[in-house]
A and B are shown apart, each in its own frame.
Chain A
Amino acid sequence: MNSQIRRLGILLTAMMLALMVWLSYWQVFAAERLNDNPHNTRKIVRDFSQPRGVIQSADGDVLARSDPTDDTFERLRVYPERELFADVTGYFSFTFGSDGAERVYNDELTGRTARLRLTHLGDVLLGKKRTGNVTLTLSKRVQQTAASALGPHKGAVVALDPRTGAILALWSYPSFDPSQLSVHDQSSVRTAWDQLNKDPNKPLLSRAYRERYFPGSTFKVVTATAALSNGATLDQPSFPYLTELPLPNSGGQSLRNFAGHRCGGALPDILVQSCNTAFAQLGMDLGGDKLANAADGFGFNARPPIDLPSPARSVFPPAAAFLHDKPGLAKSAIGQQDVSSTPLQMALVAAAVANGGSIMQPHVLLEVRDSEGAVVDRYDPKEWRRAMASDVAATLRDLMVEVVRRGTATRAALPDVQVAAKTGTAQTDRNTQHAWMIAFAPADQPRVAVAVIVEDQRNSEDATGGAVAAPIARAVIQAALANP
């Protein structure tokens, strides 16, 4: 019997050894593949519970930080400013991933960039973990001003420094509190997410850089650029005084001036009065080619290189689209029809004029510091587009100063600073309009460019860009120019 017992023992031993071999397969050879398996949430949990740096505003206000907790995730991401910076910081959620700077600067915040690692090679040996703290270009003061100036109206405000492209304020209303998506109770996160998505006012939508609107008359700055870049002067061409412009090949359609005004003349007059009939004619005279070129020069049809996830492209149709569509060209020249633009893009239009025709890459990152406060990375401003020659920019700047001095944007004026601006009132349907303003200041040495849109104003003369958006732009400019 003993030989059978021995054989049985050997068999059981062989089975045990087979288990060991099999386990080494899972634990060593297949481990990497399993760890990277998309269904494996362990990695996500680990990432989620990793130490994570702080996001702060340029003026030192903490916008996102991680507090220690007792549960599996170990840390809870909190946003002390609640909805104020949601567009920029984004959220950091276990179930729904991340957005905004939380997403773009994830590696910096978790200390995973080569720079953060190289600077602290010694820590690797000590097994210490460093995180990076991200400082944004936005200041709480300007952001706060933008939010309270816009108030409870759907819309967006973008303010940036035209010299560097640094975003100073980026606000969309309504907004949301990112903390409700970063809490650890995933069912409450899901409920919050569903509610935010069901809300018809789309609080999760970053209107400032992800939503497109008709730019309306603010687009006349682009049309004017096309004209000035193609030989137009302050006197020539000059347009007849009209209340409406019959559109060719449109079966009797005509394009009216706002509130039936009669207007015309050369560039200074038509821009100051935001004359639809003259700009529509100007667009048709220039032709689709030149207009589309000018729009592309400002960055239309391209994704702005902002360091936030998925910015929307602004749209101006290609020249070919207008070959047999003169009425379309006329309407596009005044920012209607097929033109659509993000508030960010319109702020860049203002910035181009302010910065001698050069558009700097818009960005929200000022610098990354390690946990001990040493700067490890700084955003290096770069030019993105040249929208126009500097003399054209200078001419346009003067015209936009006139718009504030005696035109449609008088409410954007500030007592001791010269503001340059252009208003817009974009028709959406029969009953509502969007009130726009783009502006920059001080006109001679611009330090801030803004775009403001207030959505869905009732059609009326008191709800134009000049009436509704101008005071908001003014407040934001004032806040941005005030010495901190």
Chain B
Amino acid sequence: MIVLALVLTAAGYVLASLGGRSSSLPANLVPFLLIIGGLLGGAHIAVRRLAPQADALLLPVAALLNGLGYVFIARLDKNLAGLQALWTALGVGAFIATLLFVRRTRDLERFRYTFALLGIGLLLLPLMPVIGRNINGARLWVRVAGITFQPGEMAKITLCIFFASYLVEKRELLSVFTRHVGPLSVPEVRHLGPLVLAWGVSLVIMIAEREIGSSALFFALFVSMLWLATDRNVYLGLGGLLFAAGSIFSYKSFAHVQERVHIWHNPWPVFSGSGYQIVQALFAFAAGGLFGVGLSRGNPGRIPAVATDFIFAAVGEELGLFGAAAIILAFLLIVGTGMRIAMRAEAPFDKMLAAGLTTIIGIQSFIIIGGVSRLVPLTGVTLPFVSYGGSSLISNYVLLALLLRISDEEAGHRQTARLADEGLRAA
């Protein structure tokens, strides 16, 4: 399957070059193939060695998304392509390292408060005076020693680990409602603390870093994990209420949020100004139609930030509805596989973590695909594995490795259980 992903990526790369104006085979095809073959092969061998019983579908799907994304980045911006190759290498390195160091998920549980602090620290890093950087109006970046990165990407994972272990410990407390307010029964206020905290943190991030997408992602992640842990629908309702309150508050208070909403609602009056990006993306989708105009045959270059946030619009233009649907299907596969891993996992912490990590990928891809196609207001998050960006690629590979580790463990458990079962029967 990994070979299939490799073949598809290589074919896309060749086609993109053939479809271009020069209509020739890419000059660096052989080194290109060797490099991605080496990277994916390395990742594959690492999985076989370090997590031999892990799910066999996740890595090829992620590799396909990564490869397709690379083809588009190479076609859109030659300079970014070299960097993206480097990020991919680092991502695969992080993937192998994660598998290597996280041999048991229980190890993660022990460091939950470290992860929590790490996560919050990472989130706050961009706000630091010297190293924080504003890019496109959002303060999500940190620049150290000439390298710019988005710490929030990694914070998603560490916070997810924290949420999972915290909620597993407190699930009993949080699901017992002892207080009564009129006809409603509510949990102890002090147990509600984390919910309110998460709400507050996501609001603070949004206000301070001017980024709605990440905050929505954090909040959705936390509420769904809370709900998973407690099976209390009231948390969904409460979460929804707080989300609505936060949304209304930020809409009323911040011009940039209002602008985003207005552009989403009707971009046409500002088609040449603030609505330019989304309008151009819609034109790109329309130009693509069912089958797309063909790799390198379109004009996605006119969409600002097309290699990062808007890469999906480029796919929609050049590969058409079918190509775009294929990307969505790939994410669907990841979501399905991730949830299956969560359901099969033995330990509640593993279940929570797997479901949480899967939710991150699912929600994030929904936010950005929905954003560029005007289903929801546009916010600047990356499309996992596809978009250009080092922080995003590395953290998504780490996330993938964690999912595979959980998958390997549960398979190991099942095997042990089966062996024990057979042993019993034999006896």
Contact = CB atoms under 8 A, between A and B. Distances in A.
Q: Do A and B come from one complex?
A: yes
B355 A35 contact: no
B231 A1 contact: yes
Contacts of B228: 1, 4-5, 8
B372 to A, nearest CB: 10
Given A2-B343, A16-B366, A27 B289 contact: yes
Contact of A12 (B231, B343, B359, B374): B359
Interface in A2-61: 2-6, 8-9, 12-13, 15-16, 18-20, 22-24, 26-28, 30-35, 37, 39-42, 45
A72 interface: yes
Contacts of B336: 9, 13
Contact of B287 (A12, A15, A35): A35
B285 A23 contact: yes
Interface size class of B (residues with CB under 8 A): 35 or more
Nearest to A29: B286
Given A8-B339, A12-B362, A19 B375 contact: yes
B339 A39 contact: no
B172 to A, nearest CB: 13
A70 interface: yes
Most B CB within 10 A of own CB, among A5, A42, A70: A5
B325 A23 contact: yes
A27 B292 CA distance: 9
B272 A27 contact: no
Contacts of B343: 2, 5-6
B136 to A, nearest CB: 23
A244 interface: no
B282 A19 contact: no
B81 interface: no
B287 A42 contact: yes
A27 B332 contact: no
Contacts of B331: 16
B314 to A, nearest CB: 13
B227 interface: yes
A19 B370 contact: yes
B286 A34 contact: yes
A74 B21 contact: yes
B285 A27 contact: yes
Contact of B290 (A12, A27, A39): A27
Contacts of A39: 268, 271-272, 279
A12 B366 contact: yes
B289 A31 contact: yes
Given A8-B224, A8-B339, A27-B320, A16 B328 contact: yes
B231 A4 contact: yes
Nearest to A40: B283
B288 interface: yes
A128 B289 CA distance: 21
A39 B302 CA distance: 13
B58 interface: no
B49 to A, nearest CB: 29
Contacts of B348: 1
Contacts of A33: 286
A6 to B, nearest CB: 7
Interface residues of A, number: 36
A70 B20 CA distance: 10
B63 interface: no
A5 B342 contact: yes
Interface string B311-347: 0000010001100110010011001100100110000
Contact of A1 (B21, B268, B299, B351): B351
B323 to A, nearest CB: 10
A30 B342 CA distance: 39
Contact of B328 (A20, A41, A42): A20
B363 interface: yes
Contacts of B359: 8, 12
A5 B279 contact: no
A419 to B, nearest CB: 56
Interface in B347-366: 348, 351-352, 355, 358-359, 362-363, 365-366
Contact of B370 (A1, A22, A35): A22
Contact of B332 (A13, A42, A72): A13
Contact of A26 (B285, B358, B363): B285
A72 B282 contact: no
Nearest to B225: A8
Contacts of A4: 227-228, 231
Nearest to A24: B321
A368 B231 CA distance: 76
B399 interface: no
B116 interface: no
A26 B283 CA distance: 9
A30 B321 CA distance: 13
Given A28-B289, A31-B286, A42-B287, A23 B324 contact: yes
Contacts of A27: 285-286, 288-290, 316, 320-321, 324
Contacts of B74: none
A15 B365 CA distance: 10
Contact of A5 (B328, B332, B339): B339
A41 B299 CA distance: 10
Contacts of B362: 12, 15-16
B286 A30 contact: yes
Interface string A332-370: 000000000000000000000000000000000000000
A26 B282 contact: yes
Nearest to A34: B286
A219 to B, nearest CB: 50
Contacts of A34: 282-283, 285-286
B257 interface: no
B325 A20 contact: yes
Nearest to A22: B375
B373 interface: yes
B142 interface: no
B51 interface: no
Contacts of B375: 18-19, 22
A6 B339 contact: yes
B229 interface: yes
A190 to B, nearest CB: 16
A5 B373 contact: no
Most B CB within 10 A of own CB, among A16, A34, A37: A16
A70 B24 CA distance: 14
List 6 A-B pairs, minimum CB-CB distance, nearest first. Answer: A34-B286, A9-B339, A12-B362, A31-B286, A27-B321, A26-B285
25 contacts: A2-B343, A2-B351, A4-B231, A5-B339, A5-B351, A8-B227, A12-B339, A12-B366, A15-B362, A16-B362, A19-B370, A19-B373, A20-B325, A27-B288, A27-B316, A27-B321, A31-B285, A31-B289, A32-B286, A34-B282, A37-B283, A41-B302, A42-B284, A70-B21, A72-B299
Given A1-B229, A1-B348, A35-B283, 20 more contacts: A1-B231, A1-B352, A4-B231, A5-B228, A5-B343, A5-B351, A8-B224, A8-B355, A8-B359, A9-B336, A12-B335, A12-B362, A12-B366, A13-B335, A19-B366, A23-B328, A23-B369, A30-B286, A32-B286, A35-B287
